Amino acid sequence: MVTEEQVLEALKSVQEPVLGKNLIELQAVKELKIKDNMVSLKLAISQPGTAEQMQLQQEVVTAVKGAGADSVGLRFEKMSDEEVKQYGGQATEEKKSLLDQTNTTFIAVTSGKGGVGKSTVSVNLATSLARKGKKVGIIDADIYGFSVPDMMGIEERPKVEGQRIFPVNRFDVQVISMGFFVEDNSPIIWRGPMLGKMLKNFFEEVEWGELDYLILDLPPGTGDVALDVHTMIPQSKEIIVTTPHATAAFVAARAGAMAIKTDHEILGVVENMSFFESKLTGEKEYVFGTGGGDKLAQELQSEVLAQIPLGQPEIDENDFAPSIYGEDHPIGKIYLEMADNVINKIENE
């Protein structure tokens, strides 16, 4: 079992990226706990919630696991201004934010509960918009349940140069996710305010370039991250994902109600897992019932953008992307029609 001394020794090899000194020199370790060979650390650094922090956390996890820990949980806090000045740090300059770009349309994809296929809808909508010739980015804003990199078959990580992050390009979509900055699926142990700050830095620290659309794959429900999005992006438009089941639609109405109360425009409802169609007979089976999408759209005074059947993309072992439907796949064609609906609603309003 790893000891406290071994952890502290390992951290001597990790430099704080802004101040250029190792974490022990900076007395950055504010809390260290070890239980069942799982290490929990609280670190004070000069610029939490930045590209530098994400790079640092990879290095910390690697170093502590190298010392013998099974897993590493990290929390960060900001050093005092006096400490930063003492170690030679300077105030950071104001950053250019994607939130200031008036030509980008923000589309938040949300749901009332997990398991309804919200992330599948997000990645296929983003890919379909790109296939329509649009410049598209996607933020995997489900900080605890990030899945976009795996769903899109992304193995590389963003480049970090100085204080800027360059997103990964996949299927002509610019992708950023918390999953890129977590080593070996380690848990994220952050409270609400830090989550909001990390999301804000996805807008400010990332070199997105010119985007027509930015898709935000939100966590299910109406928690901290969803509230932060509503506060940060008052002009965001929303797509609510549900299944045909009445209970799923009932729960999804809460997410829609939040959008309405914060003056966000609801683009429409996507009813996922609408039915299963037999390849042999063509017969449709309504596994999760019917009517949930229509009922939700009526309650939100909106419309159903698409009804997506149960299905599976064709798997290409040479270009693996387990959740992305091809353009010629029957479900891929439905997503292309949905992209057309979204473009028409936004660009012809």
Burial class (CB in 10 A: 0-12, 13-18, 19+), 323: buried
pLDDT value of residue 67: 93
CB 117, CB 272: distance < 8 Å: yes
Structural domains of the chain ordered from first start: 4-86 (3.30.300.130), 98-347 (3.40.50.300)
Which runs of consecutive H residues, i.e. helices, occur in the chain?
4-11, 51-66, 81-86, 118-131, 148-151, 192-204, 224-232, 246-261, 292-299, 330-347
CB 202, CB 88: distance < 8 Å: no
* Cβ atoms within 10 Å of 71's Cβ, excluding its own: 17
User: What residues contact 221, with CB distance under 8 A and at least 6 apart?
Assistant: 111, 112, 113, 254, 255
Burial class (CB in 10 A: 0-12, 13-18, 19+), 291: middle
* Cβ atoms within 10 Å of 69's Cβ, excluding its own: 21
pLDDT value of residue 154: 92
Going by the DSSP 8-state scheme, the letter that residue 39 receives in this structure is: E
CA within 13 Å, CB half, 172: 12
Instruction: Please state whether the predicted TM-score (pTM) of the whole model is above 0.85.
Output: no
Query: How far apart, in whole angstroms, are the C-alpha atoms of residue 25 and residue 267?
Result: 52
pLDDT value of residue 76: 83
Strands 136-140 vs 213-217: parallel, antiparallel or unpaired: parallel
Stated length of the chain = 349
pLDDT value of residue 164: 81
CB 208, CB 214: distance < 8 Å: yes
Going by the DSSP 8-state scheme, the letter that residue 338 receives in this structure is: H
pLDDT value of residue 349: 65
pLDDT value of residue 263: 63
Token pair 């059947």 in the structure block, residue: 309
Question: Both ends of the chain: CA-CA distance in Å?
Answer: 62
Return the structure tokens found at 97: 């934010």
Mean pLDDT by 10 residues, the chain (349 residues): 92 89 91 90 84 81 91 85 79 62 86 82 96 95 81 89 86 90 59 62 86 89 61 79 78 66 79 89 88 85 91 84 92 96 87
Query: How far apart, in whole angstroms, are the C-alpha atoms of residue 140 and residue 194?
Result: 16
Cα 186–chain centre separation: 16
Query: How far apart, in whole angstroms, are the C-alpha atoms of residue 182 and residue 187?
Result: 8
CB 105, CB 214: distance < 8 Å: yes
